[in-house]
A and B are shown apart, each in its own frame.
Chain A
Amino acid sequence: MTDEAILRVKDLRTYFNTDEGVVKAVDGVSFELHKGETLGIVGESGSGKSVTNLSIMNMIPNPPGKIVGGEVLFGERDLLKMPLREIREIRGNKISMIFQDPMTSLNPFLRISTQMMETIILHQGLDKKAAKAKAIEMLALAGIPAPQKRIDCYPHQFSGGMRQRVMIAMSLSCNPEILIADEPTSALDVTIQAQILDLMKDLTARLGTAVILITHSLGVVAGTCDTLCVMYAGRVVERGDTEDIFASPKHPYTRGLIKSVPRLDIASEGRLSSIRGQPPNVIDLPECCPFYPRCDQAMDVCKKKYPERRDFGNDHSAACWLYSEAK
């Protein structure tokens, strides 16, 4: 892992116009991704994790959504200001995405070969034969048995886990610099989950791809991610190396999340712990720390202003009034 940041997200804001008001799904998110790094984005439903990633590739449906501010620097260029034509050259090519549900993410009416080859032909300019060969190669890498035969099959002829492997193969076929994986294992059986995660780790290590892994499961994060962003109510509340965060979580929310993972090696002491309350409705949130209703350590200032970000060294930072001198 070098120090070279290939993706820099600065103060990204994406809002949605709905009947009930303006939903500030992403409200000032910043992070950096380095070459070959695996970054995890963790949070509950509605925390804004998926929207962040769709925003990076400018795939927010408009209406009702709109990216209203911030920068997404890929190399030197701001993706948010690129014309669609140029973004398309990056999608699938330099930055790839895979989604949660492999059942619905593949076109049921087209063969796998067609779906894989079209990306390769489009971005790498190979001819049909070469593209097909490359696609078969990728399927083999992804652990699909007898790829030369199976490539001509339709999606419904694969099982869920196999389909996700196909998605992974498809997304890595143009050797992208970044792979964005939006909850890739949430729809799969637990045993398959482990397999797919291993596959992703293996392939991305081999190809040198950086990964942004979105998940709500800390278990997944612990095994695969180098760095971590914890999101709450559209903002990053804590950031840093995975080890640092697990060893010494600073933000009360992060602490709550870690504590709520039941552990087999510690004798259970009564009830399972959880964070009380519900995730917030992000419409018309007042100026405050959005976590304060559920926080045991909330103070007066928490109700009045969003906390400043405090740095703990080694790129570990958290936004919480507990650590700020100014109160």
Chain B
Amino acid sequence: MKFPKVRSLRIGGKADAELNEFAQSMKPVSLWADAWRRLRKNKMALAGLFIVAFYVAAVLLAPILPIYHYEDQVISHANLPPSLRPAGEVMLETRVAYMRKMMKAESRTSFNAKEEADIEAMKADIKVNPDHKRVYVMGTDNLGRDLLSRTIYGGRISIMIGLVGTITATLVGILLGSIAGYTGGKIDNFIMRFVDILYGLPYMLVVIIMMAIFGKNVINLFVAIALVSWLTLARVVRGQVMSLKNAEFIEAARSMGASPARIVFRHLTPNTLGVIVVFATLLVPDFIMSESFLSFLGLGVSAPLASWGSLVSEGTATMELYPWQLLVPAISMTLFLFAMNFLGDGLRDALDPQSKNRA
């Protein structure tokens, strides 16, 4: 076989642009821009994002929103159902309905004198007392406190615990995970053994103990939960760091003289950030659930502070008679958790390069 003689191909130079006219698009697309594009297409994740944003805005702005203070009690307004009408009317209606039930139970067909007098007194009071003009959109609890306001403030506590806790757990997890992954050897072994052991414990039980011993306040609460929540993140970060540590581009950076610190910050971290963001987003609902769990059992925040968990706990006790007291906080919390989960799922799909081109 004869090969043609080698020729230099530098003749008749074509401009690069012309050369690459049909070339695959070389526009630099950063990981984030690409992920954002994909996220935007995911309707559920977007909905989740908006709902979360809405909630966060609501709880941040709570002090300046036109709602009643969460500690504000009007005893006569206890246990009113949700309504858009002024409290006075609702109160009257409820009381009268109750009296009618009593009447029926005693087989009477009309009110007696005392009951009539009570009704008149109430009507008079309503005309005079400005409190009765309030509107309780979500009803009230057993002490006459506005459920809407309590739910919003409860959300404040719950979301704050969720966010702060997640950030703490994330930072601890990243720190320990990257140390373990990058240094390897004995330190890695030690840290991972530690993680394994902690993993084996039923941690919620441990948290409960800690709350029992050290008292029920918000700080303890979130320290206790944060202490055991960094485990999965640490493992994940370690895994990522380990697989990237020996990747070729790291070798390249090292061969160009980059110091370990520079390698960790400029090269490793951006690549692991995607995974970290996904896990962190999914950690928030976890935290909120844990806190609610504790509050539900009476080991979380205590009165007069409210968190979603404690509100649900109160609601469970009265759900037969006043179902809204359970449903309002329950649905609010559930909606938020839903939204966060959808958002987290969407982020995971958006940042996962393997799910490109899903028709």
A residues adjacent to B (C-beta < 8 A)? 16-19, 46, 63-64, 222, 233, 243, 246-247, 249, 255, 258-259, 261, 263, 266, 268-271, 273-274, 276-281, 285, 290, 293-294, 296
Chain A residues with Cβ below 8 Å from B248 are none
B6 to chain A, nearest CB (A): 5
Known: A259-B7, A293-B14. 20 other contacts (CB 8 A): A18-B359, A19-B357, A63-B359, A64-B357, A233-B22, A249-B4, A255-B4, A258-B3, A269-B6, A273-B6, A273-B7, A273-B8, A277-B23, A279-B23, A279-B24, A280-B22, A285-B22, A290-B22, A293-B19, A294-B19
| Chain A nearest Cβ from B126, distance in angstroms | 63
Residue numbers in B under 8 Å from A278 (CB-CB): 20, 23-24
Q: Closest CB of chain B to A197's CB: distance in Å?
A: 18
B19 to chain A: closest residue by CB: A277
B23 in contact with A281 (CB, 8 Å): yes
Q: Residues of B contacting A285 with CB < 8 Å?
A: 22
Determine whether the beta carbon of A266 is less than 8 Å from that of B3: yes
Query: In this complex, what residue of B is CB-closest to A263?
Result: B3
A63 and B357 CA atoms in complex are apart in Å by 10
Contact A296 B357, beta carbon cutoff 8 Å: no
Q: How far is the CB of B135 from chain A (nearest CB, A)?
A: 49
Neighbour of B6 across the interface among A233, A259, A277, A280, CB < 8 A = A259
11 A-B pairs (CB sep. < 8 Å): A246-B1, A246-B3, A261-B3, A266-B5, A276-B19, A279-B23, A280-B22, A281-B22, A281-B24, A290-B22, A293-B23
Most buried by A among B7, B9, B356: B9
Q: Is the interface of B mostly helix, strand, loop or mixed?
A: loop
Closest 7 CB pairs of A and B: A280-B22, A63-B359, A64-B359, A278-B23, A277-B19, A281-B24, A293-B21
Shortest B12–chain A CB gap in Å is 6
User: Does B246 count as interface, using CB distance less than 8 angstroms?
Assistant: no
- Find out whether the CB atom of B4 lies under 8 angstroms from the CB atom of A258: yes
Contact A266 B23 (CB under 8 A): no
Known: A273-B6, A277-B23. A243 touches B359 (CB 8 A): no
Interface residues of B, Cβ cutoff 8 Å to A: 1-9, 11-12, 14, 18-25, 356-359
Q: How many A-B residue pairs have CB under 8 A?
A: 73
Which of A268, A271, A294 is the one whose CB lies under 8 Å from B8? A271
Distance to closest chain B CB from A78 (angstroms)? 26
Are A259 and B23 in contact (CB-based, < 8 A)? no
Query: Closest approach, in angstroms, between the C-beta of B40 and any C-beta of chain A?
Result: 12
Given A281-B25, A293-B21, do A259 and B4 touch, yes or no (CB 8 Å)?
Answer: yes
Residue of A with least CB distance to B13: A276
Residues of A near B22 (CB, < 8 A) are 233, 280-281, 285, 290, 293
What is the CA–CA distance of A233 and B8 in the complex, to the nearest angstrom?
25
Inter-chain contact A276/B9, CB cutoff 8 Å:
yes
**Chain A residue contacts of B7, Cβ below 8 A:** 259, 273
A247 adjacent to B20 (CB under 8 Å): no
* CB-based contact B3/A270 at 8 Å: no
Nearest-neighbour CB distance to chain A for B351, whole angstroms, equals: 16
Q: Which residues of B contact A19 (CB under 8 A)?
A: 356-357
CB pair B9–A296 under 8 Å, yes or no, is yes
Chain A minimum-CB-distance residue to B26:
A278
Residue of B nearest to A284 (CB): B22
* Nearest CB in chain A: distance from B356 CB, A: 8
In the complex, what distance in Å separates the CA atom of A33 from the CA atom of B11? 39
Report the separation of the CA atoms of residues A246 and B19 in the bound assembly, to the nearest whole angstrom: 26
Nearest opposing residue in chain B for A298, CB measure? B14
Q: Give Cα A17 to B359, complex, Å.
A: 7
Q: How far is the CB of A249 from chain B (nearest CB, A)?
A: 8
Docked Cα-Cα span, A270 to B18, in Å, equals 26
A243 x B24 contact (CB < 8 A): no
Q: Which B residues touch A276, using CB under 8 A?
A: 9, 14, 19
State the Cβ distance, A93 to closest chain B Cβ, in Å. 31
Q: Is the CB of A247 within 8 A of B1?
A: yes
Given contacts A63-B359, A276-B14, A281-B25, contact A293 B3 (CB under 8 A): no
Report chain B residues within 8 Å CB of A222: 1
Residue numbers in A under 8 Å from B9 (CB-CB): 273-274, 276, 296
Query: Smallest CB–CB gap between B148 and chain A, Å?
Result: 43
Shortest CB distance B94–A (Å): 57
Question: Which residues of B are found within 8 Å of A255, using beta-carbon distances?
Answer: 4
Q: Which residues of B contact A266 (CB under 8 A)?
A: 3, 5-6
CA separation between A315 and B1, bound complex, in Å? 19
Complex CA distance for A14 and B30, rounded to whole angstroms: 31
CA distance A247 to B1 in the complex (A): 6
Tell me the complex Cα distance, A19–B194, Å.
Answer: 45
Closest residue of chain B to A262 (Cβ to Cβ) is B6
Give A259 to B220 CA distance when docked, in angstroms.
Answer: 73
| A120 CA to B4 CA, complexed, in Å | 48
Please, how many angstroms separate the alpha-carbon atoms of A269 and B25 in the complex? 34
Provide the residues of chain B in CB contact with A63, threshold 8 Å: 359
A272 — nearest CB in chain B belongs to which residue? B6
Chain A residue at smallest Cβ distance from B25:
A281
**Cα distance A64–B355 when bound, in Å?**
12
Expressed in whole angstroms, the minimum distance between the Cβ of A14 and any Cβ of chain B is 14
Tell me, in angstroms, the Cα distance from A249 to B4 when the chains sit together: 9
Given A63-B359, A296-B12, verify A280-B4 contact (CB < 8 Å). no
Distance in angstroms from A20 CB to nearest chain B CB is 8
CB < 8 Å: which of B8, B19, B24, B357 contacts A270?
A: B8
Cα–Cα distance between A63 and B5 once the two chains are bound (Å): 47
Q: A18, A233, A258, A274: which contacts B357 (Cβ < 8 A)?
A: A18
